[in-house]
Amino acid sequence: MFIFEDIIDLKNHLKVEKQQYSIGFVPTMGALHQGHLSLIDRAKADNDVVVCSIFVNPTQFNNVEDLKNYPKTIKEDKKLLEAHHCDVLFLPDAHTMYPVPAKTSFSFGHLEQTMEGEHRAGHFNGVALVVSKLFHLIKPHRAYFGQKDLQQFIIIHQLVQDLLFDLEVVCCPIVREDDGLAMSSRNLRLTASQRPIASKLYEALMLARHSLLEGYGVSKTKQTIQNFFNDLSDLQLEYFEVVKSATLETVDSVSDTFQVSLCIAAFLGDVRLIDNVFLFDKKGIF
């Protein structure tokens, strides 16, 4: 595995690669887990060369403590990437990615005014900024993102369309622990006593999915989920939304004519967890 910290060296290497091979790209912030590795494996299956980036992007954090506490396991990350046959690791620092303070800003309209965008001001501007930089530097044929960050994927899909990036963005399924908890780097911050409680997030989603599929309706289902969390003292619900997957528009009723996503966020102590599930198993996002 080639490891680059410098932009020029990375671009020179990939310029040669791209003349002969297809490039798949997996952007990450490190603290890699099986969810990330599933993206590496998918990229490896679809492409000749796989590039992974590890960069904890400061511009997408609206909470200084969250940025400070974000897990960093670079030594272990390198071993995992090599074991999964990643070809190139781009490992920049903040000065490399932001040699001067960024002044460019992005607006995604209603796509960023709900759920994560509503509760994390400026988050998606930071995501769009760093992803644009990485796409520009790496010029991949395909880029891979996890469904766990569904809103992020929809926004990046819009970014690619708006800026005419010549690449395909691919959304890959959530990888879960045996008890249903979505794998996340932030799970490393959970204590031993908190860990089993965290799986209640997925339990709530399954409860909501069952309610909707049984015809109880969106309003009734939302009340059911609120009642579920009212009985949990440790897990504090931030939001639960039922949305059209492709547009993130909230819905008052569901229909099998479009894919529906159930999206949730909650705090367990000072650890913020998010998750989502599709309502219909055999229907894609778009």
Backbone angles phi, psi at 182, to 5 degrees: -65, 130
36 is in an annotated binding site: yes
DSSP alpha helix (H) spans, the chain: 7-18, 34-46, 64-69, 74-83, 94-97, 116-119, 123-138, 150-163, 195-198, 200-213, 218-230
**Roughly what angle, to the nearest 10 degrees, separates helices 200-213 and 218-230?**
150
175 is in an annotated binding site: yes
> Is 141 noted as a catalytic residue in this protein?
no
186 is in an annotated binding site: yes
**Do the beta carbons of residue 278 and residue 260 sit within 8 Å?**
yes
157 is in an annotated binding site: no
DSSP alpha helix (H) spans, 185-280: 195-198, 200-213, 218-230
31 is in an annotated binding site: yes
DSSP 102-142: -------GGGGSSTHHHHSTTHHHHHHHHHHHHHHHH--SE
146 is in an annotated binding site: yes
255 is in an annotated binding site: no
142 is in an annotated binding site: no
- Rounded to whole angstroms, the Cα distance separating 271 from 188 reads 10
**Do the beta carbons of residue 195 and residue 77 sit within 8 Å?**
no
206 is in an annotated binding site: no
33 is in an annotated binding site: yes
Q: Exactly one of 13, 36, 95, 119 is catalytic; which is it?
A: 36
35 is in an annotated binding site: yes
List binding-site positions.
Answer: 29-36, 60, 146-149, 152, 175, 183-186
List binding-site positions for beta-alanine.
Answer: 60
Residues belonging to the active site: 36
List binding-site positions for ATP.
Answer: 29-36, 146-149, 175, 183-186
